[in-house]
Amino acid sequence: MTKKEFTLIYQWNDNDYRPDVRFYLGMNETGFTMHITIPEADPMREKTKHFSSVCVDSCVEWFVNFAPEICDRYFNFEVNALGTMNVSFRKDRYDSKFLELEDVESLNIQTEIFDDHWTVDYTVPFTLIEKYIPGYEFKEGMTIKANFYKCGGEIRHHGMWQPVKVEKPDFHRPEYFGEIVVE
């Protein structure tokens, strides 16, 4: 898969804070790769334990259904600048199951903080997807459904790739995920 770049729009903001975050989705022989560049100096990063509420820190998120033709659930990957991740497999905001710590460790999360930006890299192994979606099989040309988000930190903001057409902030709306053809 050629790396695909995704940029954000901002919704629900009552300020001018709109960082130009870039998500790069790719693939290697073991799974889907994610590289994110976030133009923030000194990002808020207080959460240090996986499965904590990293969305209150400076946070980037990827919500993705890897097999919409056979599964109505999605993964939500939320990560801060320390590499602390909150990740679950869910149907919506209320119906969810946290992944296991060994699952989070299999993502090989790497972060770097620079003077004017920070980056996140991780890989979602095909074996992890298969564990939660029995019958999942990767195929070239398949379509996944997803949205990419930026939130948290000291200045309240809500960035997303695809608009979420609801009045109040709510990223857990899979009906607004966009389609991505894996080619």
Q: Where would I find the H helices in the chain? A: 101-105, 126-132
Range of the domain at 65: 4-181
pTM for the model stands at 0.96
Q: What is the per-residue pLDDT across 53-106, written as a single tens digit (0 to 9) for each?
A: 999 999 999 999 999 999 999 999 999 999 999 999 999 999 999 999 999 999
Question: Residue 55 — φ and ψ, nearest 5°?
Answer: -65, -15
Assign residue 33 the CATH number of its domain. 2.60.40.1190
SS3 175: helix
Tell me the pLDDT tens digit for each residue of 115-167: 999 999 999 999 999 999 999 999 889 999 999 999 999 899 999 999 999 99
Mean pLDDT of 163-172: 96
Domain count, the chain: 1
Is 50 a residue whose pLDDT tops 80?
yes
